[in-house]
Structure 1
Amino acid sequence: MNEFFFKTIREGSINEVRSMLDKNPVLVNSKDARGSTPLILATYYDEMEIAKLLLEKGAKIDAVDASGNTALMGVCFKGFTDIAKLLIEKKAELNGRNAMGATCLIYA
């Protein structure tokens, strides 16, 4: 089920993501095979509405993937400023470091 959930996020199917979260709320902070959370994945794919939904459903904003990257680090790297603004407004950690010692500012 988890892999289908993450595939649904990558495809941007917000209604399906919402339905799956309603049926199984623990998915909100689950991890895929690479250690990414739904929020990290949604932000990495520039899925703003899904990111908002995940935050509303209790996604941990500063959760890290297997490399220690947060959602904010990912969007800074990709240049997705609108999602970066959302995460900052929601109080994402600005000074955290990943496994290589990089910060959001370094990626920005």
Structure 2
Amino acid sequence: MKAAGPGPACWKVFLQFYWLHSYSPRQRRRRLLADRSVRFPNDVLFLDHIRQGDLEQVGRFLRARKVALDTIHPSGMAALHEAVLSGNLECVKLLVKYGADIHQRDETGWTPLHIACSDGYPDIARYLISLGADRDAANNDGDLPSDLIDPDFKDLVELFKETKMD
């Protein structure tokens, strides 16, 4: 004996009708895209924008206070370390403007100045030193920023000679 009431096919037609007539085409499109889209945490997006040097997006995250600048991310570094690693002086300046700590250490005790010296970014090193970055800060291995300078990085070698004399 069959149960009274609409069958599964009837419900399917009803749901299709409801879906088509309850939402505008724009709303339907948004809902479909939202169901298929992948969402990343703000920190992941923020670090990606830093690595790409997208100052506009980095600025938006900072102004909206969507991220904490002192967070040590899974990479073992904070946002300022990532910006120095990318070699983007303007991004470094932007992060410092919004309160990034130039003395913050990563998981291995490296400061942003250690990274600037080891990777050969004299402009960033000069900027950090002008803000008072500690030239005598040792990392977990006991290395000073000046110990990490490749002799081929003449500008950095000269910078540390100049600042030692001051």
* TM-score, scaled to structure 2: 0.63
Q: Does 1:66 align with 2:111?
A: no
Q: Give the drift of 1:8.
A: 0.9
Unaligned runs of 5+ in 2: 1-41, 150-166
Q: Give the drift of 1:4.
A: 1.2
Work out the number of aligned pairs and report it.
108
Report if aligned partners of 1:67, 1:98 keep a CA contact under 8 Å in 2.
yes
Distance 1:9 1:60 in 2: 16
Q: What's 1:43 paired with?
A: 84
Report if aligned partners of 2:61, 2:67 keep a CA contact under 8 Å in 1.
no
Unaligned runs of 5+ in 1: none
Aligned ranges 1:92-107 → 2 under 5 Å:
92-107=133-148
Q: What's 1:22 paired with?
A: 63
Q: Give the drift of 1:27.
A: 2.4
Higher Rg of the two aligned structures: 2
Partner residue of 1:55 out of 89, 93, 96: 96
Distance 2:60 2:68 in 1: 11
Q: What's 1:87 paired with?
A: 128
Q: Give the drift of 1:105.
A: 1.0
Q: Does 1:11 align with 2:52?
A: yes
The AA in structure 2 aligned to 1:50 is C
Distance 2:45 2:71 in 1: 12
Report if aligned partners of 1:34, 1:65 keep a CA contact under 8 Å in 2.
no
Distance 2:72 2:107 in 1: 10
Higher relative contact order (CA 8 A, sep 6+): 1
Deviations 1:4-41 (A, max 9, x none): 11111001000000000111165222221022111111
**Structural RMSD (CA):** 1.1
Distance 2:106 2:113 in 1: 12
